[in-house]
Structure 1
Amino acid sequence: MTEFQPRLYLVSPLLAGPEPFRDRLAEACGAAETAAVLLRLAPADERTLVKMIKAAAPAAQDAGAAVLVEVLGEHDAALVAARGGADGVHGGAGADLTGLRQRLRDGRMLGAGQLRTKHDAMTAGEAGVDYVMFGEPRPDGYVPPLDQTVERAEWWAEIFETPCVAYAPTLEAVRDLARTGAEFVALGDAVWSHPAGPGEALRIAAEALRQGAPEAAR
C-alpha cells in the first residue's frame, strides 16, 4: 500500500482584470504546492482576454502550476488560451468538449466542469477530457451540497481512470474530499476571502490534504 494524496487546484474569482488578483495568486501558489489554477475570465474582447492571461498566468506558472482558462462569452477558448500562453481550457456549461478536444492538438489540457448529472460526466469522459470537476459554483452562484460532491467524486474515482477534481466550498471540507480518492481538491472563495490571506489559506488546505489522504494502491 502506498499513500495517495490529492493535489491542490485553485479556481479564481470571475476576473475582469489581472490586478490585484495577480499578487494574491502568487502569494497562494508560493505558500503550498499547487497543481493547477483555473482563471475564470469575464466576457471581454479577445485582445483583452489574451492580455489578462498573459498578466496573471505567470504568477502560477512560475510556481510550477498549470494554468487553464474558462472563457465566458462567444470566443474561441482554444485560440485565446494559446495566444495567452495558458496550459489548457476548462469547459463549463454548454461547452463543445468534443470540438475543443479536436482544437487542442498542441498538448494543451482540457477539463470539464458544470457537470450536473453522472451522465454529463461520462459524456465528458468520452470526449477525451483530461479531468472532470464536481461541485464548483454554478454561474448563478449555486454551490452543490458537499455530500453530493463527495458521492460523485467517490463514484468517479472508483470506476474511471480520467482524473477527478472535487471542489471544496470551505477549508473545512478539504479533509472530507481528500478521502474520496479524487486526484485533486479545488478551492476558490475559501482561499481568496480568507481573513489571514490566500497564503495562509493554502497552508491550512495543504495540511488538511495530508491529514485526510487515504492510503490506497494507485
Structure 2
Amino acid sequence: MTDTARLYLVTPVVSDAATFAPALEAACGAGEVAALLLRLAPADDRAQINRIKQLAPLAQQHGAAVLVDAAPQAAVRGGADGVHLTAPDQETLEQALETLQPDRVVGVSVAGAELRHDAMVAGEANVDYLMFGGPHQDDAATLEQAGWWAGVFATPCVACASSMDQVGPLAATGAEFVALGPWAFDGDVAATVRQALQILASTEVATA
C-alpha cells in the first residue's frame, strides 16, 4: 500500500482580490486541495494584508492551507497559514523560520546551479517543505530532482507540474505533493482540479 501525493495549487499573480475570488473558491471547492500558494502583486503591507484577508478564508474553509509570497508579518496579520520563499538568502530564511514556526508553515523553492546544495541547506534549517520545478524548469529536471529528494530526505517535497501530463509522473516519484501552476486557472479550474485529483488517486509510487 502506498500513499498518494496530495494536490497543491499555485495561483497567478493576484492584484485584484475581488476579481480572483470566484476562481479561487471554484478551485478549492472542487476537491481536496491540500495547500495553496497565493501569489500577490507587489504592494504595500496594508494592501497585501487586505488581499490575504479577502482570499485566504475562501481556501481555508475547504481545508486548504494558504501560503503567501509575502513578508512573514503580513502573512500572520492577514491570517495565512505560512509563507513561501523563492531562493531566499540565509538571513531571510532564518527570519521567516523564527517568526512563523512552529505555528505556521515556511516553504522554499530552490533552483539554479546550486539547487541540490541549497535544498539540503534549507532542509537542514527545518523548513516545512521544498518545492522543485516551476515555469522555467525543464520537466525532466523536475522529475529527477523530485525523485532524488523524495527518495532520500524526510522534509516533504512539492513537485510542480508544467501541464496535466506531468501530474502522474511526478506523483510516481514519491513526492508528497504535486503542484499545478497558474496554468490551472486558465479555463475551467474546477474541472482541472478534479482531473488532477483523479490522476493522483490512480498513480502508484515507483519503488526502487
Structure 1 segment 111-190 matched on structure 2, within 5 A: 111-116=107-112, 117-137=115-135, 143-190=136-183
1: CA distance, partners of 2:206 / 2:111: 28
Residue segments in structure 1 that go unaligned for 5+ positions in a row: 72-76, 138-142
Q: Quick check: 1:31 aligned with 2:24? A: no
In the superposition, the TM-score normalised over structure 2's length comes to 0.93
> Number of aligned pairs?
203
Question: 1:74 corresponds to which residue?
Answer: none
Q: Quick check: 1:103 aligned with 2:99? A: yes
Q: Deviations over 1:30-86 (max 9, x none)?
A: 111010000111110110000000001111000000001002xxxxx1100000000
In the superposition, the TM-score normalised over structure 1's length comes to 0.89
Larger relative helix fraction: 2
SS in 1 for 2:66: strand
1: CA distance, partners of 2:87 / 2:149: 19
Q: Quick check: 1:211 aligned with 2:205? A: no
The answer to whether the 8 A contact 2:110-2:119 is kept is: no
Report the RMSD for the aligned CA atoms in angstroms.
Answer: 1.4
1: CA distance, partners of 2:54 / 2:68: 13
SS in 2 for 1:119: helix
CA offset at residue 215 of structure 1?
6.9
Aligned residues with identical type, % of pairs: 46
Residue segments in structure 2 that go unaligned for 5+ positions in a row: none
